[in-house]
Amino acid sequence: MPKSVLIVDDHPGFRASARRMLEASGYAVVGEAGDGEAAVAAAGELSPDLVLLDVQLPDLDGFEVAARLQGLERAPDVVLTSSRDRADFGDAVSESPARGFIAKAELSGQALAELVG
């Protein structure tokens, strides 16, 4: 059974391209959200296995969303993503509950699988 994924990003174009790429790699994209509050609500409703989570969102940052997702009854794995480099976030990525970070330019089904299995 493919892993179910919720894609969280404030850019619809990125969400669409990530959906196509992930579905082609065998993931089941169960939903999308454009901001942090919507992401937390969607994750609670959809119970995805994995949340692909943009760090920079219009309301909450991805680190806050990742922390909130850990409070869900069935907490998903979280992989952070950004158009910025991981180094731009200092220790925030390693201190977050996320499984890891993938730069948007390097996103692939294989890169996700290497982080979450």
d(Cα 113, Cα 47) in Å, to the nearest integer? Answer: 19
**pLDDT value at position 117?**
75
Residues 9-39 pLDDT 10s? 999 999 999 999 999 999 999 999 999 999 9
d(Cα 91, Cα 1) in Å, to the nearest integer? Answer: 34
Residues 43-83 pLDDT 10s? 999 999 999 999 999 999 999 999 999 999 999 999 999 99
Three-state DSSP class for 117?
coil
**pLDDT value at position 2?**
62
Question: Residue 1 pLDDT more than 90?
Answer: no
pTM value is 0.95
Domains of the chain: 4-116 (3.40.50.2300)
**pLDDT value at position 58?**
96
d(Cα 116, Cα 50) in Å, to the nearest integer? Answer: 8
Residue whose pair of structure tokens reads 């794995």 in the numeric block: 77
Question: Residue 85 pLDDT more than 80?
Answer: yes
Residue whose pair of structure tokens reads 């994924």 in the numeric block: 5
